[in-house]
Amino acid sequence: MRARSIPPLLLIGSVLTLALVPGGDSYTLLGHDLDFGVRDYRVFNDFEDVSANDNTTPHANFPGALGATLAIWKAGAEWGSTLHGDGTGDSTQSFDGIGSGGANFDFSYQGLATGPGPLWGNTHSALHASNTGLLAFTEFANGGWRIRYYDNWTWDDGPNSIGTGVYDLQSAATHEMGHALGLGHSSQVFSTMFSSMSAGTTSWRSLTSDDRQGVQAIYGAAAPGKPVITHATFDGLRVHLTGSGFSATGNEVWFTSKGPSAWGSQPIVTDVSSNGTSITVVPPVDAGNGDVLVRNTASGFESLSNAWPLALACSPISNYCPTTANSSGDGAVLGISGSQSVQANDLVLTARGVVPNQFSIFFYGQNQTSALVAGGTLCVGGPFYRLGIAQASAAGDVVYALDLNAPPDPAGQIQTGQTWNFQLWYRDPAGAGSDFSDALSIPFCP
């Protein structure tokens, strides 16, 4: 993909030829298709621009991913056979949702990579080199592929509109993954597979009918027998899938790798039986948050289902914002006991280092800030919601059981897939009058 100001040129080397398709369509085909062993893709997130990793808002359709990783996951999901989950997760695609390729084709998102991998490692990564005309490119070898993004350009992970002069990572990833699956450049200027892209726009994130016809020309339109997942849940022990087109025996269930993983592998459970519309399976220990797919026993591209989001583990909680010393010591630090499960509703907020026997109040909100207030730093941005009053013990500890079914305000209702920030305000009469703890960012899961 080239920067728009540069005349479009053939960017792929001598190995591949772009062939025009007869019949008036504008897409072109590279002449290959992706077999099932090279549908997996990973992100080696070494993008250096702050704007490439400043989207810190999680989305339930893309559990566990943020920043550049989330942008690239959405790009792969856009080519899928049907909507990814309920199709939400990108405000620029609210008109048709994410996942409208309509072909017998679906990528398998595999989370983070441990490095850029080989030419056939199916990994996205930044290339720490300069190119004055080329934004990104796709390489092919041994049946696989690899995508690199020149980091002399400024990349932006969205998720909404982006600034002028910077390039939309999700748009570029959608384009390059079109190459990976076998599409060349289109002559239609509005199609995602057009050869050059403008700075400051996000329109290449969404496929046009020309792009959809292209992917269907390689893999066929989504066939009636193609397995389809319409719902997936994890009860803590087993994954329950609902859908259609599952074989009676011999299904494969594909999961996303947990944590950074090397190229070329993915957790798969084989020989899974089904009544045709539901599957229950124990996820492998190396499976994590991501997508789940089912491959039935049919031959051909139509044997692999759509990719459906599945949260197997909650992202870890994190402390942010430094605490400040108070009249009794180094300051108050937050922690939790219990779980981040909305269903379990057993989260307990804890604090140590509070001024002994003094009153305190936990409060929470979805935004973060940093402002000096009284003796400390206010770290939770508005709007925030105050929980009940709690008294510190003689040891300076505070324990507060959160009841997710009784929020202090309806707008403060905590739901699965959301991340909320918590902080403790407490009295310090011998110090600055009052003070704040550090803050906790807590993702909530099913």
Element (H, E) at 2: strand 2-3
- How near is the Cβ of 197 to Zn ion at its closest, in Å? 9
Residues 356-385 that bind Zn ion (CB under 5 A): none
175 CB burial (10 A radius; 0-12, 13-18, 19+): buried
Residue 155 or 422: the one with the smaller Cβ distance to Zn ion is 155
Residue 1 or 75: the one with the smaller Cβ distance to Zn ion is 1
- How near is the Cβ of 177 to Zn ion at its closest, in Å? 10
Residue 1 touches Zn ion, criterion: CB under 5 A: yes
- How near is the Cβ of 186 to Zn ion at its closest, in Å? 10
Residue 123 or 377: the one with the smaller Cβ distance to Zn ion is 123
Residue 30 touches Zn ion, criterion: CB under 5 A: no
Residue 1 or 180: the one with the smaller Cβ distance to Zn ion is 1
Per-position DSSP letters for 25-43, written without gaps between them: ---EE-S----GGG-EEEE
Please count the residues of this chain forming the interface with Zn ion, following the rule CB under 5 A.
1
- How near is the Cβ of 54 to Zn ion at its closest, in Å? 26
Q: Where are the alpha helices (DSSP H) in 221-309?
A: none
Residue 3 touches Zn ion, criterion: CB under 5 A: no
Residue 311 touches Zn ion, criterion: CB under 5 A: no
- How near is the Cβ of 92 to Zn ion at its closest, in Å? 20
Q: Find all residues with CB under 8 Å of 408, minimum gap 6, and list them.
A: 385, 386, 387
Q: Find all residues with CB under 8 Å of 285, minimum gap 6, and list them.
A: none
Residue 16 or 313: the one with the smaller Cβ distance to Zn ion is 16
Going by DSSP bridges, is the β-strand pair 308-310/144-150 parallel, antiparallel, or unpaired?
unpaired
Residue 292 touches Zn ion, criterion: CB under 5 A: no
- How near is the Cβ of 184 to Zn ion at its closest, in Å? 8
268 CB burial (10 A radius; 0-12, 13-18, 19+): middle
Residue 1 or 293: the one with the smaller Cβ distance to Zn ion is 1
Which residue has its beta carbon closest to Zn ion? 1
Residue 1 or 311: the one with the smaller Cβ distance to Zn ion is 1
For 263, the 3-state DSSP assignment is coil
- How near is the Cβ of 135 to Zn ion at its closest, in Å? 9
Residue 29 touches Zn ion, criterion: CB under 5 A: no
Residue 147 touches Zn ion, criterion: CB under 5 A: no
87 CB burial (10 A radius; 0-12, 13-18, 19+): middle
- How near is the Cβ of 38 to Zn ion at its closest, in Å? 19
Residue 183 touches Zn ion, criterion: CB under 5 A: no
Give the DSSP letter of residue 387.
E
Closest CA to 102 of 228, 202, 190: 228
Residue 25 or 286: the one with the smaller Cβ distance to Zn ion is 25
Per-position DSSP letters for 316-361, written without gaps between them: PPEEES----BTTBS--EEEEES-SBTTTT--EEEEESPPTT-EEE
The CA-atom distances, in angstroms, between 352 and each of 135, 345, 395, 438 are 50, 22, 8, 11
Beta strands in 128-226 (DSSP E): 136-141, 144-150, 155-156, 167-168, 196-197
Residue 172 touches Zn ion, criterion: CB under 5 A: no
For 180, the 3-state DSSP assignment is helix
Residue 134 touches Zn ion, criterion: CB under 5 A: no
Of the candidate spans 1-9, 240-248, 419-427, 428-436, the one that interacts with Zn ion by CB under 5 A turns out to be 1-9
Residue 197 touches Zn ion, criterion: CB under 5 A: no
- How near is the Cβ of 10 to Zn ion at its closest, in Å? 9
- How near is the Cβ of 137 to Zn ion at its closest, in Å? 7
Residue 125 or 437: the one with the smaller Cβ distance to Zn ion is 125
CA R_g for the chain: 24
Largest CA distance in the chain: 83
Residue 59 or 185: the one with the smaller Cβ distance to Zn ion is 185
Site of interaction with Zn ion (CB under 5 A)? 1
